[in-house]
Amino acid sequence: MKSKFVPFLLALLCALPITALAQTGDAALPAAPSAANAANADPSTTATGVRLGTINIEAAIFQSNEGQRDFEALSKKLEPKQTELKNMNDEVEGLKKQLNTSGDKLSEDAHANLVKQIEQKQKQLERAVQDARDDAQGQQNEIAQRILQKMAPIIVKYAGDKGFGVIMDTSNPWPQGPVLWAGPSVDITKAIVEAYNVQSGVPAPARPVTTKPATTGAVTKPAAPTATKPAATAQAPK
């Protein structure tokens, strides 16, 4: 899942009241904490009194019971395509092996026909792999978007109830993402997953889902069907 889902979330989080930032003038700024109570200050609260939090949106989606169920179902759905691509790849590799082992024994026409056949089947394989990846990515995004639309209001409510003024997504590591570093004390991912599981009513999977989605960033998504890209042979023309 790409971070294209983040703007949707941010649009909802912008509804959070950040009254400390709305004030103006020096009088609105809180007094600096004294040395006596500085050690007890909430590390998630900024100097302006705004409490900061983080969430890994991609992890929250995948770790939810609904996400695990639906991504696992998608992985099983894609297995026939993975098998098809593997068979196509095996065919190309077989032809290449034939060319490498007996190519010098073939007539000029037979050699040229075999090289042309390899090129055609390799192009077909590459197109099939790309189409399968695009299809898998699209289905992954549909699952993630559907879950996020239901999860975002839970995040907003949780942030408001807990007094957070800002929630930042850590799905993509810095510098691709906005957060350089954040401690676990400000992370609300687990709490949101637990709250979402209660609301969704989807039971926990019988066994933990270990297949993670193919990522474009730091998150997690079911791996798209892949096939080993055949290496070009020395005999095959460009």
Q: Are 199 and 65 in contact (CB under 8 A)?
A: no
User: What is the SS3 assignment for 187?
Assistant: strand
In-domain check, residue 228: yes
**Among 167, 188, 164, which residue's Cα sits nearest to residue 50?**
164
In-domain check, residue 31: no
DSSP 141-161: HHHHHHHHHHHHHHHHHHHHH
Q: Which long-range contacts (CB under 8 A, 24 or more apart) does 198-202 make?
A: 199/150, 199/154, 200/64, 200/65, 200/66, 200/150, 202/64, 202/65, 202/66, 202/69
- Tell me what pLDDT residue 189 has: 97
Burial status of residue 217 (CB atoms within 10 A of its CB: 0-12, 13-18, 19 or more) = middle
- Predicted confidence (pLDDT) per residue in 20-66, tens digit: 223 333 333 233 334 344 334 455 555 556 899 999 999 999 999 99
In-domain check, residue 110: yes
- Tell me what pLDDT residue 116 has: 95
Query: Which domain range does residue 96 map to?
Result: 49-233
Total domains, the chain: 1
In-domain check, residue 173: yes
The pTM of the full predicted model, rounded to 2 decimals, is 0.66
In-domain check, residue 39: no
- Predicted confidence (pLDDT) per residue in 156-213, tens digit: 999 999 999 999 999 999 999 989 999 999 999 999 999 999 999 999 988 755 555 4
More confident residue, 114 or 20: 114
In a 13 Å sphere around the CA of 181, the CA atoms on its Cβ side amount to: 1
In-domain check, residue 213: yes
User: What is the SS3 assignment for 164?
Assistant: strand
More confident residue, 54 or 220: 54
Q: What contacts 159, CB < 8 A, 6 or more positions away?
A: 13, 16, 53, 167, 188
In-domain check, residue 21: no
Mean pLDDT, range 82-109, rounded to an integer? 91
Bridge partners, 55 (sequence order): 169
In-domain check, residue 9: no
